[in-house]
Amino acid sequence: MLDINKEIAQLNWNKEPRGLYEPIEYTLASGGKRLRPHLAIIAAEAVINGGLINSMDDVLPAALALEVFHNFTLVHDDVMDRAEVRRGQETVHVKWNDNTAILSGDQMLIEAYKLLAQVPAPKLPQVLKWFNEMATGVCEGQQYDMEFEHMNQVSIEDYLKMIELKTSVLLAYAMRIGGYIAGASPAQQEALYQYGLNIGIAFQIQDDILDVYGDPKTFGKAIGGDICCNKKTILLLTALETTDAESKAELLQWLMSTEQKEEKIAAVTALYNRLGVREACEVVLEEYTSKALAQLDFLPANSATETLRELAEQLAIRKS
């Protein structure tokens, strides 16, 4: 198995001006799950029937491009969201400043395209086209996410559309691109894409659930952060759809409160419990997981496809 962390560590950022490249090195060295390059590579392995691709060099540049792109979005999103900590370390705009985060972020996006330019020439036009569609989806998703903050009424449907754009299209195209470079048939490409799309939405729903119900020891961030800042998660949107007038009034009251953090988290969680919000969201989560799993029937049965099955199944019991 290709060691993605090692490959990322080998990217060379020892270039001038340091003020531009140091924040890129800092961001890419900060870890993360490397989910996107892994998905691209597993997708490639799945369609070449579990064996090793003759030269993994063909898939690697695109896989790395997807990771660099993802990290670019984090750097710019953190500026826009004024987030101070990411992966346990200061965000770029805090450690340096906003201008550095903007410009180094821009350069990261360009670096992603530099990696993409290494895709074998016959496959480059299609991969570039998909990559651009993916990048557009992510920006559109971030725009909707920012707009939702200031909207009173957001439907669960709108929310699902937003996370599909902001999170899932990147996973979906990671799989399609990885598979395509490895020679997937159009039907396999579509299955890989749909798997990624559905698992991405399931992943985000699980994230929302864990923010309230996760184990603080393993979750890695403070529990209840979304409740504190009234983030429009699927849990909150589900609770707001309740027809229980008393619960709704209580919820709206807490939404207006910006003090009493601990009390707010406890009260809103109790309300979620009373309304069965967690269970309702888990039903939706399982729907998307099932849709992802169903796509695997269109792929060869091999160890890579098995890994994809386990990934989808583990989603439902993820704790961090």
Any idea what DSSP says for residue 210?
H
Contact 177, 193 (CB under 8 A): no
Q: Alpha-carbon distance 6 to 112, whole Å?
A: 17
CB 259 within 8 A of CB 232: no
* Contact with its own copies (CB under 8 A) among 33, 87, 129, 221: 129
293 binds its own copies (CB under 8 A): no
CA angle 245, 145, 126 (to 5 degrees): 135
Q: State how far the Cα of 88 lies from the Cα of 151, in Å rounded to an integer.
A: 31
| CB 116, min distance to its own copies, A | 8
By C-beta, is 50 or 120 nearer to its own copies?
120
Tell whether residue 300 is a contact of its own copies (CB under 8 A): no
Among 7, 25, 90, 106, binds its own copies (CB under 8 A): 106
Residues 83-102 that bind its own copies (CB under 8 A): 98-99, 102
Q: Is 157 in the site for its own copies (CB under 8 A)?
A: no
**Which of 272, 224, 280 minimizes the C-alpha distance to 251?**
272
The minimum distance between CB 60 and its own copies, in angstroms, equals 17
What separation in angstroms does the CA of 205 have from each of 104, 235, 259? 31, 9, 27
Shortest distance (Å) from residue 257 CB to its own copies? 26
Residue with smaller CB distance to its own copies, 99 or 258: 99
Q: Cα angle at 247 between 246 and 253, to 5 degrees?
A: 95
Is 129 or 274 the residue whose CB approaches its own copies more closely?
A: 129
Compare residues 49 and 136 and give the one whose CB is closer to its own copies: 136
DSSP string, 70-122: HHHHHHHHHHHHT--EETTEE-HHHHS-HHHHHHHHHHHHHHHHHHHTTS-GG
Would you count residue 16 as binding its own copies (CB under 8 A)?
yes
| Residue 220 to residue 91: CA distance in whole angstroms | 16
Closer CB to its own copies, 99 or 320, in the complex = 99
Instruction: By CB under 8 A, tell whether 163 contacts its own copies.
Output: no
Site for its own copies in 132-151 (CB under 8 A): 132, 135-136, 139-140, 142-144, 146-147
Secondary structure (3-state) at 156: helix
Closest separation in Å from C-beta 129 to its own copies:
5
Please tell me whether residue 194 binds its own copies under the rule CB under 8 A: no
125 binds its own copies (CB under 8 A): yes
One-letter amino acid of 175: M
Distance in Å, CB of 176 to its own copies, minimum = 16
How many other CB atoms are found less than 10 A from the CB of residue 280? 18
Among 29, 56, 109, 293, binds its own copies (CB under 8 A): 109
Closest distance of CB 79 from its own copies, Å: 6
**Helix or strand holding residue 85 (H, E):** strand 85-86
- Residue 229 C-beta: closest distance to its own copies, Å: 16
Single residue of 9, 19, 218, 300 touching its own copies by CB under 8 A: 19
Class of residue 1 by CB neighbours under 10 A (exposed 0-12, middle 13-18, buried 19+): exposed
Return d(Cα 34, Cα 31) in angstroms, integer: 7
- Which residue ranges make up the site for its own copies (CB under 8 A)? 16-17, 19-20, 76, 79-80, 98-99, 102-103, 105-107, 109-110, 113-114, 116-117, 121, 124-125, 128-129, 131-132, 135-136, 139-140, 142-144, 146-147
